Structure 1
Amino acid sequence: MQYTKKIIIDVPLKETVALMDNLQNLKKWQKGLKEAKVIQGKFGEKGAKTELKYDFGRRKMTLIETILETDVPHSLVAEYTTKNIYNIQRNTFQATQDGKTIWISESEFKFGGFAMNTIGFLMSGAFKKQSLKYMRDFKTFAENH
């Protein structure tokens, strides 16, 4: 499953990326995130791995984020893995002439096993909705911090 989401943030590019590239800020805009700890390298740098623990009530999930490519402040490619779910997210950031930031996020999901493939197919709308929700939550955080 692949999809692209786009949002405009009313904050200059460098400030937007600085807010996003801060481990301490993740909990301020990612609802459900209970713990974020670097387990390899330096947060935000190529090769860095961060363990992200989420609690959504009855559903708990641990993801490992690996930074695959970084050209901050213009782009960041990260891989997120958990049991039977693999996601690559390609993020690009562009400055507008009026001092805002355009954030484009391209997501590609792969699922392991028949059951997860079926869930991924049936729940594709939920994945897209969650991605856009986090983008909107970051926008709100960045514009009001």
Structure 2
Amino acid sequence: MKFTQEIEIERPIDEVISLFDNPDNMDKWMDGLKSFEPISGTPGQPGAKSKLKFKMGNREIEMIETITTRNLPGEFSGTYEAKGVFNIVRNRFVKLSENRTKYIAENEFQFKGFMKLMGFLMPSAFKKQSMKYLVAFKEFAEKGK
């Protein structure tokens, strides 16, 4: 399943990149993120691996992030692997004006086992969760919330 989502942020591109590129900010806009633990490599750099733990409702989800491309603002990409789900995310940022930035997120979800059924029956849930993070990042960047 592939989809692209975008949102406009009322902040200069340099500010947006600075906020996005700081792992200490992740819990401020990624609802449910409980921990971010570097495993290998230099965090944020191609080849770096990190373990992310999320609490979503009653479920705990652990995933491994691998950074594949770092060329900000043009592209920051990575893979996210959890039980039954492999997600490729390509983030891009485009300067619209001095105080306005477009954040574009391209997602490709690949499913295995039971999650294949979930992806087939509930694709909107994955799109909704991805958009939730974009909206939360926008609010964090604009209002510090």
TM-score, with length taken from structure 2: 0.95
Residue 144 of structure 1 and its aligned partner are, at CA, apart by: 1.3
How many residues align? The count is 144
Distance 1:10 1:141 in 2: 11
> Are 1:134 and 2:133 matched, yes or no?
yes
SS in 1 for 2:118: helix
Identity among equivalent pairs (%): 43
1:70 Cα offset (Å): 1.1
**Structure 1 stretches of 4+ moved >2 Å:** none
Q: Deviation digits for residues 100-123 of structure 1, max 9, x if unmatched?
A: 11011110000112x321111111
CA contact (8 A) 2:81 2:87 kept: yes
Give the match for residue 101 of structure 2: 101
Q: Spell out, residue by residue over 1:3-39, the C-alpha distance to the aligned partner (whole angstroms, 9 max, x if none).
A: 1101001111111011011111001111110111111
Shift of 1:56: 1.7
Segments of structure 2 that go 5 or more residues without pairing to the other structure are none
1:112 paired to 2:94: no
Describe the superposition over 1:32-66 as per-residue Cα deviations: whole angstroms up to 9, x where unpaired: 10111111112211111111100123111001111
In structure 1, what residue type is equivalent to 2:97? Q
Partner of 2:64: 64
- Given the alignment of the two structures, is residue 41 of structure 1 paired with residue 38 of structure 2, yes or no? no
Q: For the residues of structure 2 that align with 1:57 and 1:132, how far apart are their CA atoms?
A: 18
Q: Which AA in structure 2 matches 1:127?
A: F
**CA distance in 1 between partners of 2:97 and 2:33 (Å):** 34
